């Protein structure tokens, strides 16, 4: 990204074709190669493969307080329920007139409820299902499958239905 990118455009909210992302960075983001350094954090024990994604402080603050209290109980993950369901998040946010408000008022509360769901449903079976679903999401093949596997996931708000 460009230098001082949090102070440009939508700040910490990234949209599709975000002008702050340089061409090479765009390639890294699309291929998810930019996530590989987090494997070091997993090997160190600071992160897990599956768990709530680490957030900037501004984005973490957009979670409802009740969600924040639950999310900090588990290690952050390279992928998680929110990452799988919001695999097209940048496109979703871009198609909105007020991306930051949409992110803060619609996306983050729902994402928070998904992460709280994970905290209360974590286990070896859900862990491996979520790894499998992450692979499908990377391949663009996950549409709707997560709700067939985890039937008790929180339902999305109406504003997100067409996207997820």
pLDDT per residue as tens digits for the range 76-129 = 999 999 989 988 777 777 667 777 888 888 888 999 999 999 999 999 999 999
pLDDT value of residue 1: 47
161 versus 126: the higher-pLDDT residue is 126
Average pLDDT, the chain: 83
Mean pLDDT throughout 139-150? 87
Q: Give the rounded percent of residues in the chain with a pLDDT score beyond 70.
A: 79
**pTM of the complete model:** 0.78
Mean pLDDT throughout 127-146? 89
How far the first Cα of the chain sits from its last, in Å, is 27
Residues 108, 59: contact at Cβ < 8 Å?
A: yes
């Amino acid at each position: 990204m460009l230098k001082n990118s949090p102070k440009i455009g939508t700040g910490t909210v990234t949209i599709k074709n975000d002008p702050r992302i340089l061409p090479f960075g765009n390639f890294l983001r699309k291929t998810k190669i930019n996530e590989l350094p987090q494997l070091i954090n997993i090997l160190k024990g600071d992160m897990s493969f599956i768990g709530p994604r680490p957030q900037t402080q501004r984005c973490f603050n957009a979670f409802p307080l009740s969600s924040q209290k639950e999310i900090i109980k588990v290690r952050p993950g390279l992928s998680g329920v929110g990452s799988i369901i919001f695999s097209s998040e940048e496109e979703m946010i871009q198609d909105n007139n007020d991306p930051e408000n949409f992110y803060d008022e619609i996306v983050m509360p729902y994402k928070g409820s998904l992460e709280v769901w994970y905290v209360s449903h974590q286990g070896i079976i859900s862990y491996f299902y979520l790894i499998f679903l992450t692979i499908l999401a990377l391949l663009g093949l996950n549409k709707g499958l997560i709700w067939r596997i985890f039937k008790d996931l929180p339902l999305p708000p109406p504003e997100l239905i067409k996207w997820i």
